[in-house]
Amino acid sequence: MFSQEQLNKFSTQETPFYYYDLALLRRTLEACSTASSKYNFHVHYAMKANVDPRVLDTIRSFKIGADCVSGGEVKKAIECGFTNDKVVFAGVGKSDPEINYALDQDIFCFNVESIQELEIINELALQKGKTAKVALRINPNVNAYTHKYITTGLEENKFGINQWEFEKVAAAIKILSNIECIGLHFHIGSQITDFNVFKSLCIKVNEIVNWFTNHHFNIKVINVGGGLGVDYYNPDTNNIVDFETYFRIFDSFLERSANQEVHFELGRALVANCGSLISRVLFVKYGQVTNFAILDAGMTELMRPALYQAYHKIENLSKDHNVKNKKYDVVGPICESTDCFGKAVELPDTNRGDLIAIRTAGAYGEVMASNYNLRNKVNVIYNE
C-alpha cells in the first residue's frame, strides 16, 4: 500500500513513471543476505532484471556479486562498482568483443554453454596470454513448471550442455590449455514458486557433480542459478520472499564438500516488489461487452503482460480500494492489440485522470522499456 504522502507526491509527477521503494529493496537485500550467510552461500544479482542506477547502487552496497548475460552488463556492473572477482558472465551467445572485454577485466568466470564456446574462449585467452576460468552450464532436464517462455532447463531449450555431451566436453577441456574449469552452472527457469522444484534440481545436480568428480574434475563452484519467484497477487502481504526456506532447501539437499562454494543468481526475487509503474487514465470507453480504461503507459513501459501474458496487480490509487464495482480491460496507447495490462480487472468506477498503479514491476519492467511508436523514455522517482 502507498501512504498518503506518497500519493500526494505521485499526483504532482508527470506520468507514466517507475516508482522504486529503495527502503523495501534494502529490507529485501538484508533478508537475503541474512539467510544466505548462514550457509556461506554466495549470491550474485542477475543484472538483466533491473539496471536502474539507484537500484544497482543499493544492491552493490550489500557486497554481493553480479550475474551478467551480455558484455554491456559486464561493463555496467564494473562501472557501478561490483568487484571484478564477483562478476560472472553467462549467456548462450557471447560475441568475441564481449569475451575479450571480460578477459581484460579478469572476471570471476564465464558460464559456458557449448564446446564451441569453450574453444573460442580458449583461443581468445591464448592470444592475451591469460587463463580463463569457466563453469560449464549444464542442462539438467529438470522441469521448472513455469511459463514455457521462461523455462531454460529442458533439453528442448537452447541453453546449456546436455548430458549426452559430457564425454566430449570432458575430452575438450583436457586439451584446452588456456581454460580452467572451476565449476558447474545450472539454471532451470524463472518465477518458480514450487519449492519442490528446487529439491528436484538438487538431486539432479548431485548426480552430475558426481559424474564430473569421478572423471577427475575439481569442482570448486556449484552454481545453482536463480529462478525464485515472487507473489504478484499479494504484493503488500508478501513483499519479501521466503529466503529462509529457499536457502535451507539447498543446504539440506545439495551434497557438497567443505571446499566447494555454492553460488546463486537472484534477480526478480530481489527487485520485483520494490517497483511499481504509475500511470494515468487518458480515456474510458464503455461498451456493451467490455469497458476499457486507456492508460498513458503501455507495453513500451512494461512488456511482460504482452510478452508472457503475465499478471500484475492493478490498483486505482485515486479511489477507495475497497470499492470494486466495475470491470475494465486496462490497456495502453500503443497501436498493438497485445498492449493490454489486464482483462476484466475489477476496479472502482474509474475516470479520466485517475492514478493507476501496476504493482510488482521492479523486475523486467523498466529494463525492457522501448521507444516503439517513438515513445519518450519512462521517468523514474524513488522512495528512500
**For 250-284, what is each residue's pLDDT tens digit?**
999 999 998 999 999 999 999 999 999 999 999 99
Residue 229: band (very low, low, confident or very high) from pLDDT cuts 50, 70, 90:
very high
Listing DSSP states for 50-63 in one string gives ---HHHHHHHHTTT
Q: What is the pLDDT of residues 337-361, one digit of tens each?
A: 999 999 999 999 999 999 999 999 9
CATH 2.40.37.10 segments of the chain: 273-383
Listing DSSP states for 44-101 in one string gives EEEGGG---HHHHHHHHTTT-EEEESSHHHHHHHHHTT--GGGEEE--S---HHHHHH
Can you say how many angstroms the Cα of residue 65 is from the centroid of all Cα atoms in its chain? 14
Mean pLDDT of 76-95: 96
Mean pLDDT of 300-329: 93
Residue 174, phi-psi category: left (phi > 0), alpha (psi -120 to 50), beta (remainder): alpha
Q: Give the position of cell 539437499.
A: 253
The residue that leads in pLDDT, 196 or 322, is 196
pLDDT over 70, % of the chain? 96
Residue 152: band (very low, low, confident or very high) from pLDDT cuts 50, 70, 90:
very low
Topology (CATH) of 273-383: Lyase, Ornithine Decarboxylase; Chain A, domain 1 (2.40.37)
**Dihedral angle of Cα 357, 358, 364, 365, to the nearest 10 degrees:** -50
Residue 158: band (very low, low, confident or very high) from pLDDT cuts 50, 70, 90:
low
Q: What pLDDT shows up at residue 141?
A: 75
Please state, rounded to an integer, the average pLDDT across all residues of the chain.
Answer: 93
Mean pLDDT of 130-135: 98
CATH 3.20.20.10 segments of the chain: 22-271
Q: What is the pLDDT of residues 326-335, one digit of tens each?
A: 999 999 999 9
Residue 155 in this model has a pLDDT that exceeds 60? no
Listing DSSP states for 115-163 in one string gives HHHHHHHHHHHHHHT--EEEEEEB-------S-GGGB-SSTTSS-SB-G
Partners of 316 in the β-ladder: 356
Listing DSSP states for 15-26 in one string gives SSEEEEEHHHHH
Partners of 255 in the β-ladder: none
pLDDT over 90, % of the chain? 87
The residue that leads in pLDDT, 321 or 368, is 368
Q: Of 23, 85, 89, nearest to 58 (Cα)?
A: 23
Q: What pLDDT shows up at residue 145?
A: 46
Q: What pLDDT shows up at residue 160?
A: 82
Q: What is the pLDDT of residues 30-85, one digit of tens each?
A: 999 999 999 999 999 999 999 999 999 999 999 999 999 999 999 999 999 999 99
Q: What pLDDT shows up at residue 159?
A: 66
Helix (H) or strand (E) holding 382: strand 379-383
Separation CA 65–CA 47 (nearest Å): 10
pTM as predicted: 0.93
Contact 7, 315 (CB under 8 A): no
Residue 293 in this model has a pLDDT that exceeds 90? yes
CATH top-level class for 22-271?
A: alpha beta
Q: What pLDDT shows up at residue 149?
A: 43
Residue 165 φ then ψ, to 5°: -95, 0
Residue 151: band (very low, low, confident or very high) from pLDDT cuts 50, 70, 90:
very low
For residue 17, give the amino acid letter.
Answer: F
Mean pLDDT of 232-240: 96
